[in-house]
Amino acid sequence: MYFVANWKMFGNLKSLNTLNKVIKFSKSKEIKKGRLIYCPPYTLISSFLKKFENCLIDLGAQNCHESDVYGSHTGFINSRMLKNVGANYVIIGHSENRRKGETDKLINIKIKNAIKAKLKIIFCIGETISEKNKGKTKLILSKQIKLGLKKIKIKSNIFIAYEPVWSIGTGKIPKIRELDQIIKFIKGKFKDKLPKILYGGSVNTQNINDLKQISNLDGFLIGGASQNAKKFIDIVKKTYS
């Protein structure tokens, strides 16, 4: 199981101390088969990397520019630059960025170039509350998958993170039965090699006991709770208990 920590726009150099507990945990037997991946803000990637030098915790970024070459794009960072600094993963298509105008087409370009840069991609999809209420969840997910992964044949480096927009940061999660069906639905979109599927949206130390029951799930994308080392560790431990 993969446990991806999305720190969003939080954290500074002092936050590095909070990682000690997680590093210790990652070296213990308690981690079982859990794989930890931290996606801090760009400013902390190098410091996290140094901190994780002697452990198996992996590093990712939270977004990237769509271009695969250097260019005059003030304030942006592309996937090659992320790989160069030591990141192995990148989150693409997060709803917080889709909301700011990131289109499926742009997401598709970002994914293609991230693949070229040899990054693993955490590709976020999910419906809004109004889409859910109109019964459009499957339609939206199908569209996001189709357009986001257009003309991408090899999907072995792609993780799909199903993140219902209405669940992110709200404390609400889908009903387990519904979630189970949606995960099956997403897997059904891929005939041959199935991508790994994560669930994200208000995962916490309580609801993990229910969420871990979903069959066919390969892990979790964790926002708020991942900034607290104890909570993050607890989520991993409970997944295996």
Residues with active-site annotation:
94, 163
Nearer to ligand PEP, 57 or 124 (CB): 124
Closest by Cα among 121, 113, 35, 129 to 79: 113
Count other C-beta atoms under 10 Å from residue 28's C-beta: 9
Decide: 66 and 93 in contact? Cβ < 8 Å.
Answer: no
List residues bridging with 38 in a β-sheet.
5, 59
Q: Does 71 bind ligand PEP (CB under 6 A)?
A: no
Q: How far is it, in rounded angstroms, from Cα 140 to Cα 189?
A: 13
Shortest Cβ 186–ligand PEP spacing (Å): 16
| Site residues (CB under 6 A) for ligand PEP, limited to 163-222 | 163, 168-169, 200-203, 221-222
Strand partners, 59: 38
Classify residue 65 by its DSSP letter: B
Query: What string marks each residue from 124 to 163 as x (binds ligand PEP by CB under 6 A) or -?
Result: ---------------------------------------x
Spatial distance between the Cα atoms of 20 and 132, rounded to a whole number of angstroms: 40
CA distance 160 to 95: 13
Nearest approach, Cβ of 17 to ligand PEP (angstroms)? 22
* Closest CB to ligand PEP among residues 164, 195: 164
**Residue whose CB is less far from ligand PEP, 80 or 167:** 167
Residues in the site for ligand PEP, rule: CB under 6 A?
A: 6, 163, 168-169, 200-203, 221-225
